Structure 1
Amino acid sequence: MKFSVIFEAQLADPTVEREHQVIRDCVEQAVLAERMGFDRIWAVEHHSLKWYAHMSAPEIFLTWVAARTNTIRIGHGVVCMPFAFNHPVRVAERAAMLDLLSGGRVDLGAGRGGTAQETSLCGVDRDRTAAEVEEALRIIGKAWQEEELEYHGELIDIDPHPILPRPSQRPHPPLFLACSRGETLVQAAELGVGALVMGFAGPESIAGMRSVYDAAIAGRDGGRFVSTVVNDHFSVLCPTIVLDDPEEARRIGIRGQRFFAQSIGHWYGGAGVPDEAVVAGADEGAEMRRAAEQVVARLHELDIPVRPTSTATFNADHAYGSADEAIAYVERLREAGADEIMCLIQMGTVPQEACLETLRQWGEKVIPHFANGGAANGHAGNERGADEHRRNA
């Protein structure tokens, strides 16, 4: 079982001063995460998504963190791979340089960056994003393994060139794909890359997604593999706030998640701007239920079918509360098939003190429980993450 922390650089107050402080806060959290025994940090890439994610240059953020740490793995979770966002050769060059300078600690995830706000900013053809992500992964895998890269695909042609430098990890850092639907889980399995399962699905939904991933792994023939090495690592998001006062942790965590959900609704669904107010003593659970009801009502107005995914971001059944409650929740995720727990702590309304205390609680109480022989994982035989990737290399 691996433990990591993922950063969006989200903020409720989008002033320049607050933005600068939040990004510095993320660095402080990442450095503390290493001291607390986390295995990895992940940084997203998004563009022009005010409130939701101000992490537009993760390669700079991750390099800054790498220079201040020694052992924690440094993960792109994920790079926007459509060519108008990032040319695949430039991704290969940057990630290899970071891997070299960090002493072989890089993990590289790929994603589409699919909001209209982002694609319109960079001139991305939204109809080609899925195909471009797959082709980019294929190019990067070749660039890191061949003396000269030559590639002629359906979407791009690259004449023979050496791609430099080479990464420290041989043949290359582990590859991952952002997954939120069955289709992307199948794609990840068929490409031979790890799955970064995003979203606020609970353990029951995670178990279903693991089944889809495992079935695709069992049924693949290797024809779509993007590299000579395979990474079948299954990482899942775990929203969490853990404090000595469990009720306060639940209030802060659910409020943070509600802001997160409203931000997603704004950029992905055309809803209003997120509510930044934090009201002392508010019943955040009731506010979450009310927000979910509003989404359902809006879908009914538009005659759009309501599915479980429609209100998944308002599911408040997560690791909010005491360390013991977090342990119990992680046990459920592990039983569902998680190889890695990606802790989402830094949400727009969550104070820095609560983020730091949550990291300490996980480091002192939650992670040691699993390191010291927590309940066995029924999917342990499928756990083929970064460690096995390097052994097979």
Structure 2
Amino acid sequence: MLFSMGFEAQLAHPTPERERRLILDCVDQAVFAEEMGFDRIWAPEHHSLKWYAHMSAPEVFLTYVAARTSRIRVGHGVVLMPFKYNHPVRVAERAAMLDLLSGGRLDLGAGRGATRQEMTLCDVDPERTYLEVEESLRMIAQMWRTDEFSWDGELSIAPHPILPRPVQLPHPPLFMACSKVDTVRLAAEYGVGALVLGFDGIDEIREYHDAYREACASRTGERFVSDRVNDHFSALLPTIVLDDAEEAFRIGARGQRFFAESLAHWYGGGPPPAQDTEDVDNVAEIAAARDRVVAKLHEANVPVTPKALSTFNIDHAYGSADHAAGFVERLRDVGVDEVMLMIQMGTVPQDVCMETIRQWGTKIIPRFR
């Protein structure tokens, strides 16, 4: 099994000074992750999502991390690939430069940028996002195979060289963000790895994994975006691990609440996340927030699905190293290839993030090597 970390760069009480400190803290976490034996980090691109994600230029963050490390892979996961976020040629140019500078350590993921906040900022048509993500992946998979790249599709490009070329030819491994069963199956049909954001626990991850493997087994290859197929399945696991298991759960529940409320705000139109949550019962508060979402959905005559409530689940790897290892054992039994840890949540202090990374590196990861 592989072990990685994801960085949304979340921030409670955002100010310019705190934001600067946050980004540098994330760099320190990523560098320490290499020392502790992690295989990869992932940084997704988001725009204008205050509190939830301050990682608007992950390629710069990842390049800085690559310069301070030598082994750990850097996952550009994900790049927003609808054309008005990023022209496919610019995605390819930046990806190749990062792959070159890192010595061939880049993994490249695709996403839609599906919040109204992001789409209105960049004038993205929500009806075209799937179409444009697929075309971008197909274009990137072809760009360095000849000295002159041309394309005739939704975009038209006359023959041009695409420079520089990556170390990993014909292209770095391709992935796609997946937050529902349909997109997991789509990733399998494209022949790209699945980055699964399953907050509802092991059963949800199992559902996604089984759908992905079934789609891999039944596909014909007609929708492959590249002849270099990547069937890698990575699953998210929120975690805080400390010697004091009760304190780890308290901090994890608080971080999960911030994560859930931030996500609900930008993706579901909920209120902004609560900022002052240190001295409250976050377990009770996250349950109350979940009930508010249910009431809102009922009022709007919208079906209440497990997916709509999944981020309010706090049954994650918050506790001791043994408790967290139990989650890895269950994910291993499901068949996942990679456990992507979510440690940096908006209210989790830097010293707790670093200690959690240390605990995983010294007490958990070695059990699964």
**What's the TM-score once normalised by structure 1's chain length?**
0.92
CA displacement 1:261-301 (0-9 Å, x = unmatched): 10011111111111011333x33222221211111111111
In structure 1, distance between residues paired with 2:96 and 2:278 = 46
In structure 1, distance between residues paired with 2:179 and 2:146 = 32
Match of 2:190 in 1: 191
Match of 1:126 in 2: 126
8 Å Cα contact 2:193-2:231 kept in structure 1: yes
In structure 2, distance between residues paired with 1:56 and 1:333 = 30
Q: How does 1:213-362 map to 2 (within 5 A)?
A: 213-280=212-279, 282-362=280-360
CA displacement 1:231-287 (0-9 Å, x = unmatched): 00000001000001000000101110110110011111111111011333x332222
Q: How does 1:1-393 map to 2 (within 5 A)?
A: 1-153=1-153, 155-280=154-279, 282-371=280-369
Aligned positions, number: 369
In structure 2, distance between residues paired with 1:97 and 1:192 = 24
In structure 1, distance between residues paired with 2:50 and 2:88 = 26
8 Å Cα contact 2:79-2:108 kept in structure 1: yes
In structure 2, distance between residues paired with 1:232 and 1:144 = 22
Deviation at 1:337, TM superposition (A): 2.2
In structure 1, distance between residues paired with 2:144 and 2:4 = 25
CA displacement 1:293-339 (0-9 Å, x = unmatched): 11111111112111111210011111100000000011111212211
In structure 1, distance between residues paired with 2:2 and 2:131 = 30
Partner of 2:345, secondary structure, is coil
In structure 1, distance between residues paired with 2:20 and 2:300 = 39
In structure 1, distance between residues paired with 2:274 and 2:87 = 36
Deviation at 1:126, TM superposition (A): 1.0
Deviation at 1:369, TM superposition (A): 0.7
Letter of the aligned partner of 1:269 in structure 2?
A: G
8 Å Cα contact 2:194-2:232 kept in structure 1: yes
What is the root-mean-square deviation in Å for CA atoms of aligned residues? 0.9
In structure 1, distance between residues paired with 2:4 and 2:222 = 31
8 Å Cα contact 1:37-1:363 kept in structure 2: yes
CA displacement 1:164-211 (0-9 Å, x = unmatched): 111101222100000011111111011100000014121111111111
CA displacement 1:317-370 (0-9 Å, x = unmatched): 111000000000111112122110000000000000100000000000010010
In structure 1, distance between residues paired with 2:359 and 2:26 = 17
Partner of 1:334, secondary structure, is helix
In structure 2, distance between residues paired with 1:147 and 1:223 = 26
Partner of 1:305, secondary structure, is coil
8 Å Cα contact 1:150-1:160 kept in structure 2: yes
Match of 1:385 in 2: none
Partner of 1:348, secondary structure, is coil
Letter of the aligned partner of 1:229 in structure 2?
A: R
In structure 2, distance between residues paired with 1:201 and 1:90 = 35
Runs (5+) with no aligned partner, structure 1: 372-393
In structure 1, distance between residues paired with 2:339 and 2:187 = 18
In structure 2, distance between residues paired with 1:144 and 1:322 = 47
Partner of 1:71, secondary structure, is coil
CA displacement 1:13-37 (0-9 Å, x = unmatched): 1111111111111000000000000
In structure 2, distance between residues paired with 1:203 and 1:146 = 44
- Percentage of matched positions with identical amino acids: 65
8 Å Cα contact 1:92-1:144 kept in structure 2: no
Match of 1:391 in 2: none
Deviation at 1:123, TM superposition (A): 1.1
Letter of the aligned partner of 1:139 in structure 2?
A: M
8 Å Cα contact 1:179-1:196 kept in structure 2: yes
Partner of 2:107, secondary structure, is strand
In structure 1, distance between residues paired with 2:90 and 2:144 = 12
Identify if the C-alpha distance between structure 1 residues 41 and 188 changes in structure 2 by more than 3 Å, giving closer, same or farther: same
In structure 1, distance between residues paired with 2:74 and 2:105 = 6
**What's the TM-score once normalised by structure 2's chain length?**
0.98
